[in-house]
A = this chain, B = another copy of it.
Amino acid sequence: MNREIFMELLRQREFKAVRSVLNVMNAVDIASLLSELEDKELTITFRLIPKEKAADVFSNMNHSMQTYLIEMLTEKELREILDDLYMDDTVDILEDLPANLVTRILDTVTVQKRSLINQLLNYPEDSAGSIMTTEYVDLRKHTTVAQAMAHIKQVGIHRETIYTCYVLEKRKLIGIVTAKDLMTSEDDMLIENLMETEIISVSTHDDQEEVARLFAKYDLLAIPVVDKDDFMVGIVTVDDAMDVMEDEATEDITKMAAMNPSERTYFETSVFAHAKNRIVWLLVLMISSTLTGAIITRYENAFAAIPLLVSFIPMLMDTGGNCGSQSSTLIIRGIALHEIEFKDIFRVMFKELRISLMVSVVLAAANAVRIMLVYHDVQMALVVGLSLIATVIISKLIGCVLPLLAGKIHLDPAIMAAPLITTIVDTCSVIAYFSIATRVFSL
């Protein structure tokens, strides 16, 4: 849909046309279109959305639009939307709302739903419980396929997914039946003969990142969530798993660049929040990098005698930093994808050592050629070459060991990324450089 045309229709108050347009549009696209409207237009337009789509559009809107609408809508309108929202989306919305609006919503829903919402709100952030929904299809093992299909026809429309059905016995999960199984089996087949009993499930307190990884590993569409007594309490669906995967990748990338991750997008985060997320690590890293400066000062006599020595410091520091962050990046990502574990530490170190040797010899040779061409100074070529080899080896080893150690002591490996590694490696490379220089030049 062309935005300009839509805006023009709205401006001319051609509400009938607007309604027709909204009728054929996808809920996600409607939400994105609404985000460009003024507040007043937003309320008017939202009321023109076909009833069966309104909840879906609402759950796709951004937080500030949702907050505004909850304030503006009548209690009846609000109730209609809340009735159609899936439980996980309701809880998502509530988590970010100011207290008075949370109360407004809790007053609108039924007592039963209210207690369920309160329970879901109590799960730890980023846990399976906090992203699950409680609407799923449950079956009994003595049911036939035909009965199950009839049951789904009756309740299915209110379930977030009907493609995986859960066979319960005394509230415990004993089997899983897919809609594909049901649709391709004979009517009189018993569920217990059809169901899969090797079940992949998660607990309410499991980390959402682990849950998302199970989806990717086993190609699932939904995963059941059980509580500590092994009772089934909900499901997580693949669309939420995809969102988690994207958010977790963003979070890792942000941490790897020495920032506290933000829940919001770049533009949604305020200038002050951005500054706050960035300043702590900058301060820590700034102070630790003064150590490198202090070490350089100790070799004042060396570079007073041979000022050229100073000019190779940036090259050594940068190369060390780059080598270290290459290794740490691969290891951090490998840990996140469960391809590398702590027990692999010696295997990783040996591999990085061999890579360092190959890489550093090429770098040292390239540098030697350059120094010979520019300065005709064999000793300097030797000093810089040896320092490069030492720097590359040290930085690659530090780069691979620190993330693994961080993981071992239950820190997020992502903090052991480029910025911190660079600062640590800087100090090492400067020490190596001046130790080698003072020996070769007998300073």
Q: Which residues of chain A have a CB within 8 Å of any CB of chain B?
A: 24-26, 28, 149, 152-153, 156-157, 162-163, 179-180, 183-184, 197-198, 200, 215-219, 221, 238-239, 241-243, 245-246, 249-250, 252-254, 256-259, 265-267, 271-272, 274-275, 278-279, 281-283, 285-287, 289-290, 292-294, 296-297, 300, 303-304, 307-308, 310-315, 317-319, 321-323, 325-326, 328-331, 333-334, 337, 339-340, 344, 347-348, 351, 354-355, 358-359, 362-363, 366-367, 370, 418-419, 422-423, 426, 430
Determine whether the beta carbon of B326 is less than 8 Å from that of A257.
yes
Among candidates B149, B239, B283, B323, residue contacting A366 with C-beta atoms closer than 8 Å: B283
Return the contact of A311 from the options B198, B267, B296, B362 (Cβ within 8 A).
Answer: B296
Contact A250 B337, CB 8 Å, known A183-B149, A221-B238, A266-B331: yes
Which residues of chain B come closer than 8 Å to A282, judged between CB atoms?
Answer: 319, 322-323, 326, 359, 363
Q: Given known contacts A286-B319, A313-B293, is B274 in contact with A216 (CB within 8 Å)?
A: no
A253 to chain B, nearest CB (A): 5
Per DSSP, chain A at the interface is helix
Across-interface contacts of A254 in B (CB, < 8 A): 329-330, 333
Q: How far is the CA of A95 from the CA of B39 in the complex (A)?
A: 53
Q: Which residues of B are found within 8 Å of A322, using beta-carbon distances?
A: 258, 281-282, 285, 419
A354 engages B419 (CB within 8 Å): no
- Inter-chain contacts of A278 with B (CB < 8 A): 323, 326, 355, 359
B313/A313 in contact, CB under 8 A: yes
Closest 5 CB pairs of A and B: A257-B329, A293-B311, A219-B239, A292-B314, A275-B358
